[in-house]
């Protein structure tokens, strides 16, 4: 389940615009999701190989060229499906735990 949530978060961040992996990690950390580089790079590769993401190389003033990721049209469709599933899951969890939140 965590992997699916992480995919949702990463694709959602990338859907905002072209982004470098360390910026993705920083955005996840800002949201209190701690992700190591060893986790994100294989996931980005898998999403790219599935046709959900693409990347371009850009020159950097701080070293070698960098890969900047962007979402593909197929990735947009996938993201919409993930969001629908996420919304359904949130509703189910809220319904299942409403007795706990109503007692507070």
Domain assignment of residue 97, yes or no: no
pLDDT at 16: 96
Residue 93 lies in a domain: no
Query: Total domain count for the chain?
Result: 1
Residue 49 belongs to a domain: yes
Give me the domain span that covers residue 16: 2-82
The pLDDT tens digits for 30-53 are 999 888 888 899 999 999 999 999
Whether residue 104 is predicted with pLDDT greater than 60 in this model: the reply is: no
Residue 66 has pLDDT above 80, yes or no: yes
- For residue 51, give the CATH number of its domain: 1.10.10.10
pLDDT at 103: 60
Assign 23 a pLDDT band (cuts: 50, 70, 90).
Answer: very high
Cα separation of 80 and 77, whole Å? Answer: 5
pLDDT at 77 over 80: yes
- Asked if the structure places residue 92 within a domain, the reply is no
Q: Look at residue 91 and tell me if it is in a domain.
A: no
76 in a structural domain: yes
In a domain, 12, yes or no: yes
* Residue 94 belongs to a domain: no
- Report pTM: 0.85
Q: How far apart are CA 98 and CA 104, in angstroms?
A: 10
For tokens 């990690």, the residue is: 25
């Amino acid at each position: 389940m965590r992997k699916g949530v992480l995919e949702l978060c990463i694709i959602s961040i990338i859907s905002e615009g072209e982004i470098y992996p360390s910026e993705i990690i920083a955005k996840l950390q800002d949201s209190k999701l701690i992700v190591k580089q060893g986790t994100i790079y294989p996931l980005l590769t898998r999403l790219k190989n599935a046709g959900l993401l693409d990347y371009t190389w850009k020159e950097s003033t701080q070293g070698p060229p960098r890969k900047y990721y962007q979402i593909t049209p197929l990735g947009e469709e996938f993201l919409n499906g993930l969001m629908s599933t996420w919304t359904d899951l949130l509703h189910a969890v809220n319904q299942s735990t409403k007795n706990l939140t109503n007692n507070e």
